[in-house]
Amino acid sequence: MSEARWLSPAQLDAWKRLVAVVELLPGILDSQLQRDAGLTHFEYFTLAMLSESEGRRLRMTALASRTNATLPRLSHVVSRLEDRGYVKRVPSESDRRATNVKLTDAGWAKVQQTAPGHVEKVRASVIDALDADDVDGLNRVMAKVLERVDPEGRFGLSTGPM
C-alpha cells in the first residue's frame, strides 16, 4: 500500500476554506430566497435553468443533469412548482416517450421578480468581497476544479481555458 499524499499546510488551509464556503453558502442563499420569494435555492435554480434554456423548456433528464438532481428528486420539485403554476410538464415534440418541463408565464415572472434579490445576496456574500483580479482568479480556479468534478459538463459550463 502506498503512503498517503498529505496536504501541505497551505493546501489544508485552502481546502478548509473551500469546505466552509461550500457548507455555508447554500444556507445563506436558501434563507434569502425563502424569505423574499418563498422558494428554496433548488427550486429557484430549477426555474433559472429553465429560464436560460431555448424556449424556456428542457427535457426532464437534461434538467436533472443541469441541476445535479436525481430524477425522483427533480420530479418531486417539479410537482411542487407545477402546483404553484410556475412550470408545466409537456410531452416532447421529438420523442413522445420523453417529458419536457416548460416554464410558464407565471414562472418567468417569478424568476424576474426573484433574480434581483438573489443577485444582491450573491454579490454581498461573494462577489463584492473580490476585486476584478480575484474574480478572474476564482473563475480560472473553479474552471480547473470543474474539469475534475464535472468532466461531462452536466452544468453546461465551459471548462476550457479562461
Boundaries of every domain in the chain: 14-147
Q: What is the mean pLDDT of the chain?
A: 93
Q: Give the max Cα distance, the chain.
A: 59
Residue 162 has pLDDT above 50, yes or no: no
CA angle 115, 66, 31 (to 5 degrees): 40
Using DSSP, state whether 101 is helix, strand or coil: strand
Q: Residue 70 belongs to what H/E stretch?
A: none
Helices then strands, each counted (H, E), the chain: 6, 3
Which contiguous run of DSSP H or E holds residue 38?
none
Cell of 90: 409537456
Q: Spell out the residues 6+ positions from residue 146 whose beta carbon is closer than 8 angstroms to its own.
A: 155, 157, 159
DSSP 157: -
pLDDT, residue 161, reads: 47
CATH no. of 14-147: 1.10.10.10
Using 50, 70 and 90 to split pLDDT, how confident is the model at 66? very high
Q: What average pLDDT score do residues 54-75 get?
A: 94
Instruction: Indicate the pLDDT class of residue 92, thresholds 50, 70 and 90.
Output: confident
Joined grid coordinates for residue 130: 473580490
Judged against a pLDDT cut of 80, whether residue 156 lies above it is answered with no
Residue 1 has pLDDT above 80, yes or no: no
How far apart are alpha carbons 38 and 32 in whole angstroms?
9
* pLDDT at residue 155, as a whole number: 78
Return the pLDDT at 158.
Answer: 58
Task: Render pLDDT for 7-45 as a digit per residue (tens, 0 to 9).
Answer: 999 999 999 999 999 999 999 999 999 999 999 999 999
Task: Encode 45-83: b = buried (16+ Cβ within 10 Å), e = exposed.
Answer: bbbbbbeebeebbbbbebbbbbbebeeeebeebbeebee
Give the C-alpha separation, 65 to 78, whole Å.
Answer: 14
pLDDT, residue 78, reads 98
